[in-house]
A and B are shown apart, each in its own frame.
Chain A
Amino acid sequence: MPNKYLKEYVESNNNKETNYNEILSKVKGGSVMNIFKIRFVKILTTVGILLIVLVGIPNVYAYIKWNAEFTEFMEMPRQTSVGTKVDEELVDMDYIEKNGIKAKVDSLITSEDEVKIRFAFEFDNDIELNSKTFDYSYAVYDENHNIYAIYNSSMNAKIDKLPELIYRELNVEYNKNDIYANQYATSTSMGNLSASNRKIINEIRLKSLKGFPKSKKLYIRILNLGYSMVNVEEKKIEEFNISKENWIFEVEIPERFYNSNSYDLKLKNEIEGVNLTKARITDTALTIVLENKEIAEKLQNGHTMQTNEFAKIRDELIYITDNTGKRMQMLEQTSSDNEVKEIFAVTKQFLDDNKLFINITKDGKTYQSELIKE
C-alpha cells in the first residue's frame, strides 16, 4: 500500500504534470502558441517530403546510406579466435592480439536459462584505459543464427546500429519497433570481475525466461571497445574508443553440454505431506523442488536466528545422501510460502554406480526415500 506522506513528498518533485511541462519546454516550447508553429512546420515538411517523394530521392538516398553503413561494417577488420568449451566453465582458446590489446573468451557457462561469458583482456602499457568505465558492444548468436543478445554500447561508437547490422548480416528479420523480439535473452548484465596489472576479467550474463536453444557453437562478437572519463572543467563525460576491430570468438560446445540428456527422478517411496514437483539431474547438478508448508515456513523464519544456527536447521530439513550415507553438497536454496527449491552438486554420471536418497525432516522425524529414474 502506498505511503501517503512519502508519495506526496516524492511526487511534489516528480509527477506526471511537472514532467509533461518540462518535456514540452524541451521540445521547443509546447505552449498553445507553439501548436500553430508546429502545424506550420509540419505543413512545410509535408510539402517538402511530398516533393522529394515525387522525385523518388529519399528512398534511394536512404538505401544508399544504409548500404554504405552495412558495407563499412562488413569491411571492418575482423579478428577471429576459435575455441572449445572443455568443462563446466573453461574454454580452451588462444588470445587474439591486435594493436596492443589481447582478448579471449576465458570461460562459458551455459544452462537452459542462463549463459555467462567471461572475457580476459590484456592491454599494453601505452594504451590509456579507465577500467571502471570500460565498456563495449556485443552480439551473441549461434550456428543457426539464433540471437541470444545484442548490446549496443554508445562508447564513442563508430558502429551505432549494431542490432540492425547484425540482423542484416545474419539475414534475420529486424523489427524496428521491437528490436528485442528475436532475441532469446530477456535480461542482460555485464561488469568487471577484476581489473589489475592491465588485465581485465569481464563477464556478460544473459538470462532468458523462455530458455536458450541447444546451440552447438556460439559466436560472441565484441566491438566499440572503449572507456569514458569525466572532464571536470567542462563538466561533461568524454568517451574514448580503443579498438576499431570487430572481435569474433567462436566457441564449440561439445554435445555433452548442449544435449546433456538430463532426466527426472521420483521418490521410490512416497513421503506423506511432501509433494516432490521436480527432481532433475543433469551433467552438472541435481535440482529438487518440493511443496511442504512446514518446511517452507521453517526456512522463511530463519531471519530470527543466527546465521550458523539457521544453517544447521536448514541443512537438516532437506539433504541428499548416497548409499554410504555421504551427504551431497548443497549449492543453492530458495523458498517461497509453500515451495522449496534446492540444488545439489551431484551429476547423473554419479548415479551410474551409486544410489541417491532424499532425506526430509518434518514433524520432528527424518524420512528417507531413494530417488529413482522416472
Chain B
Amino acid sequence: MELHNFESIYQNTYDNTLKFIVVKCNNIDDINDIIQDTYVELYNKLKRKSINVENEKNYIVGIAKNIIKRHYRKIQNDNNQISIEEYENIELSDEINLEDDFITQSNAKEIWDYIKNKDLVTTKVFYLYYIFGYKIEEISKEMDLNISNVKARIYRNLKEMKKKFGREMI
C-alpha cells in the first residue's frame, strides 16, 4: 500500500470517524488515542493485504467500534444511561436563548474544561454543537436523544456558564 493512498483515505474519512468516536467514547479525552489507534489498525490491515473497501467510511467505523470496545471493555457504561434520564422530562421551546458571546479566546480553555466536567452526554452534545457545528436535530439523531433533551442540555449549561464566566468579559 502506498502512503499517499492511506493519506487519501484518511483525509476522506477523518471527519466521519471522529464524529463516530465522539458519540461512542466514554471519555472525551480519549478521542485522540482512539482515532490514532483506529487509523494505525487500518494502516496495518491495508499493509498486510489489499482490502476491497467499497464503503471506506463504514469500514473504518467498524474498526473504530472494535477499538472502542477494546478500550473500554463495555459498549456503554451505566453513567451514560443515568445522565440521559436526568434531562428526559424537560421540554424547551424553539425560541430558547443560545447566546454564547461570553466565550472568548482567553476563557475558551477554562470553558472547555468546565464542559468536560459535565456528564459525558452533555459534553458530547457540546462537542457536536460547538466543534462540529451540528444542528440540534442532527445531534438528537446522532446521540439518540430527543430534541428537547438536547436543547435542555445546551440551554441549561449555557445559562450556568454565562453566570459563571459572563462577568469576566465586562
* Residues in A lying within 8 Å of B, measured CB to CB: 1-3, 5-11, 13-14, 16, 19-20, 22-23, 26-27, 30, 34-35, 38, 42, 133, 135, 151-155, 177-180, 187-192, 228, 239, 297, 299-303, 307, 310, 334-337
| Bound complex: CA A191 to CA B77 (Å) | 6
| Bound complex: CA A347 to CA B123 (Å) | 40
* Residues in B lying within 8 Å of A, measured CB to CB: 1-3, 7, 10-11, 14, 31-32, 35-36, 39-40, 43-44, 47, 51-55, 58-59, 62, 69-70, 73-78, 80-81, 89-94, 100, 103-105, 108-109, 111-112, 127, 130-133, 144, 146-148, 152, 155
Further pairs besides A6-B130, A14-B31: 12, Cβ < 8 Å = A7-B133, A9-B108, A19-B14, A42-B47, A153-B73, A154-B70, A177-B51, A177-B58, A189-B76, A300-B93, A303-B90, A335-B148
Please give the distance in Å from B92's CB to the nearest CB on chain A. 5
Please give the distance in Å from B57's CB to the nearest CB on chain A. 11
Whether B43 lies near A334 (C-beta < 8 A) is no
Whether B54 lies near A337 (C-beta < 8 A) is no
Whether B73 lies near A3 (C-beta < 8 A) is no
Interchain Cβ contacts under 8 Å between A and B, 20 examples: A3-B100, A6-B103, A8-B108, A9-B108, A13-B32, A19-B14, A22-B32, A35-B3, A38-B3, A38-B47, A151-B75, A154-B69, A154-B70, A177-B58, A177-B59, A228-B73, A301-B92, A303-B91, A303-B155, A336-B146
Whether A9 lies near B3 (C-beta < 8 A) is no
Whether A23 lies near B130 (C-beta < 8 A) is no
Interface-centre pick from B47, B74, B144 (highest chain A CB count, 10 A): B74
Please give the distance in Å from A341's CB to the nearest CB on chain B. 10
| Bound complex: CA A188 to CA B100 (Å) | 35
B contact residues around A42 at 8 Å (CB): 1, 47
A contact residues around B69 at 8 Å (CB): 152-154
B contact residues around A7 at 8 Å (CB): 130-131, 133
Whether B73 lies near A10 (C-beta < 8 A) is no
B contact residues around A152 at 8 Å (CB): 69
Which residue of chain B lies nearest to A179 when distances are taken between CB atoms in the complex?
Answer: B62
Cβ-defined partner of A2 (8 Å) among B31, B132, B148: B132
Cβ-defined partner of A155 (8 Å) among B51, B73, B127: B73
B contact residues around A302 at 8 Å (CB): 89-91
| Bound complex: CA A211 to CA B54 (Å) | 26
Whether B94 lies near A337 (C-beta < 8 A) is yes
Cβ-defined partner of A177 (8 Å) among B53, B70, B77, B94: B53
Which residue of chain B lies nearest to A5 when distances are taken between CB atoms in the complex?
Answer: B108
Which residue of chain B lies nearest to A337 when distances are taken between CB atoms in the complex?
Answer: B94
Whether B131 lies near A10 (C-beta < 8 A) is yes
Asked if A23 meets B43 with Cβ closer than 8 Å, knowing A5-B103, A8-B105, A178-B62, the reply is yes
Which residue of chain B lies nearest to A239 when distances are taken between CB atoms in the complex?
Answer: B73
Which residue of chain A lies nearest to B10 when distances are taken between CB atoms in the complex?
Answer: A20
| Bound complex: CA A192 to CA B82 (Å) | 12
Whether B73 lies near A192 (C-beta < 8 A) is no
| Bound complex: CA A29 to CA B121 (Å) | 36
Cβ-defined partner of B35 (8 Å) among A8, A19, A27, A191: A19
| Bound complex: CA A20 to CA B78 (Å) | 33
Whether B32 lies near A2 (C-beta < 8 A) is no
Whether A23 lies near B36 (C-beta < 8 A) is yes
| Bound complex: CA A82 to CA B129 (Å) | 48
Which residue of chain B lies nearest to A336 when distances are taken between CB atoms in the complex?
Answer: B147
| Bound complex: CA A301 to CA B75 (Å) | 34
A contact residues around B146 at 8 Å (CB): 334, 336
Please give the distance in Å from B25's CB to the nearest CB on chain A. 12
Whether A1 lies near B133 (C-beta < 8 A) is yes
Cβ-defined partner of A16 (8 Å) among B14, B81, B130: B14
| Bound complex: CA A187 to CA B141 (Å) | 13
